[in-house]
Structure 1
Amino acid sequence: MKSLLTLVLLSVSNLFMTFAWYGHLQFKKLPWFSKLGLVGIVLVSWGLAFFEYVFQVPANRIGFEENGGPFSLFQLKVIQEVLSLTVFTLCAVYVFKTEKLGWNHLLGFGLLVAAVYVIFRKW
């Protein structure tokens, strides 16, 4: 259960992170947002990043093995990176509609899966 909760919280966190870091590049199409200067955009992004942390911190606390969770620090970080790229890719392709998924992306994701395997493997 802690594994699943950690993954869900990290996924939601990454959704907010993607919109905080990259959403403003697309939201300029909205009339009210396009009038904001850089300081306004930074403040909106900070507001979104707050919610990233609202989900990220509990995910790491719940998932960390020294708090009774199933994951080591390295495992949490690798999970975070894979989820981050997965959520970003889904947003870029289906929400922002600025990118097309290519073979090189799929190969890169395959290498990330290999990284997950290596990090989780007990040698």
Structure 2
Amino acid sequence: MPMTPAWTAITPILLLIASNVFMTFAWYGQLKVENRPLWLMVLISWGIAFFEYWLAVPANRIGRQVYDPAALKAMQEVITLAVFAVFSVTYLGERLTLNHGIGFGFIALGAWFVFKGPF
């Protein structure tokens, strides 16, 4: 059963958000675990990333029906930053500063230009 156009547009966004949660934990979750060998943390991260791929690949396959590859990549980068910002504050206990906000804002502005289309 094919998805409606609205679901085809929103599904990749939801899948990319979920995949980025997994990937953020795979890449940065181990920063709170300092007493384990690096090789073990790499294997655990690979295991987490496996599930990220099960979400990211369908997100891009479904998303390609609605978005061009550059738009999918720009969307993914903005989602990655948003997920990372929440993760950084809530899980790692980091503080986001104005320079982070400005840098993230410039990346979001770049995504806006990608979605805006040719000038």
Query: What is the RMSD of the two structures over their aligned residues, measured on CA atoms?
Result: 1.1
**Paired residues for 1:49-68 under 5 Å:** 49-64=49-64
Alignment identity in percent?
43
TM-score with structure 2 length normalisation?
Answer: 0.88
TM-score with structure 1 length normalisation?
Answer: 0.85
CA shift digits 1:55-86 (9 cap, x unpaired):
0000000001xxxx211010011111111111
Matched, 1:85 2:81: yes
Residue in structure 1 matched with residue 44 of structure 2 by the alignment: 44
Aligned partners of 2:99, 2:9: CA distance in 1, in Å?
A: 30
Structure-2 change in CA distance of 1:25 and 1:63 (3 Å): same
Aligned partners of 2:83, 2:40: CA distance in 1, in Å?
A: 25
- Number of equivalences: 112
Gaps of at least 5 residues in structure 1 are 29-33
CA shift digits 1:88-118 (9 cap, x unpaired):
1110001221x11111111112212211111
Residue in structure 2 matched with residue 121 of structure 1 by the alignment: 116
How much does 1:2 deviate?
A: 1.4
Gaps of at least 5 residues in structure 2 are 1-6
How much does 1:27 deviate?
A: 3.2
Aligned partners of 1:56, 1:7: CA distance in 2, in Å?
A: 10
